[in-house]
Amino acid sequence: MVHVILSRRLFTSSIVFFTAAACQPAGPASSARLSAATRNTTLGPGDVFRMEIVGEKDLPTEFQVAADGSVSFPYIHELDVAGLEPQMLAKKIREKLIAEDILTDPSVVVTVTEYRSKTVTVLGQVQKPGSFALAPGMTLLQAVSMAGGFTSIAQKNRVNLTRVTEGKAATVIVNMELIYEGSSDDILLQSGDSIYVNERVF
């Protein structure tokens, strides 16, 4: 199964909070808070996962969800998997194998390796700005690294992180220098998070 560790610790030492509607940040505040990242492990188009049937070593194990949300499996052919949790898919495959008299009591394990249907965006002063697949447990530091790291004119102590929770967008300004130093915790990301690295003012 996909194991994502959620951190509910406050990042008060490294962030400044302001709502999306505000034009200017509110300034440093000890009560600043970013809503905890929500875990969404349902499968979608483009996602890659491993499916293993215990004892059946000759079968393919890596699969990718097609654009229409389906996947073709050995023995049971095509299944619609979009919107299913990994454990739900494992149960569905097991039931299908039993119903069609292919296996009597199969043990099926499904593990998602890459959520390409769920992305985070990294823009601004990074080497390779763009959207990136959200890997299970991905953090802010890892996302910036996937974007090639900071440019030479990046303002590392003012990195905007925008998150939508229950339809409302909020932005925090993160001092990533503190994260690099280990004096502040890294931040767990969720699908749809947007990161913008500001340019240093000379």
| Beta bridge partners of residue 151, listed in sequence order | none
The pLDDT of residue 15: 53
The pLDDT of residue 174: 93
Q: How confident is the model at residue 130 (pLDDT cuts 50, 70, 90)?
A: very high
Residue 151 identity (one-letter amino acid): T
**Are 178 and 132 contacting, i.e. CB atoms less than 8 angstroms apart?**
no
**Are 2 and 41 contacting, i.e. CB atoms less than 8 angstroms apart?**
yes
pLDDT at 188 over 90: yes
The pLDDT of residue 9: 40
Q: Which CATH class is domain 15-40+118-199?
A: alpha beta
**Are 48 and 62 contacting, i.e. CB atoms less than 8 angstroms apart?**
yes
pLDDT at 8 over 70: no
Question: In this structure, how many other beta carbons lie within 10 angstroms of the beta carbon of residue 158?
Answer: 19
pLDDT at 111 over 90: yes
pLDDT at 172 over 60: yes
The pLDDT of residue 136: 80
Options 3.30.1600.10, 3.30.1950.10, 1.10.420.10, 3.50.30.50; which CATH number does 48-114 get?
3.30.1950.10
The pLDDT of residue 135: 83
The angle subtended at Cα 142 by Cα 137 and Cα 148, nearest 5°, is 150
pLDDT at 70 over 70: yes
Stretch among 23-32, 91-100, 148-157 having the lowest mean pLDDT = 23-32
pLDDT at 13 over 90: no
Q: Give the mean pLDDT of 25-29.
A: 32
Q: Where are the domains of the chain?
A: 15-40+118-199, 48-114
pLDDT at 78 over 60: yes
**Strand blocks (E) in the chain:** 15-19, 48-53, 62-64, 70-73, 77-80, 108-124, 130-134, 154-165, 168-174, 194-199
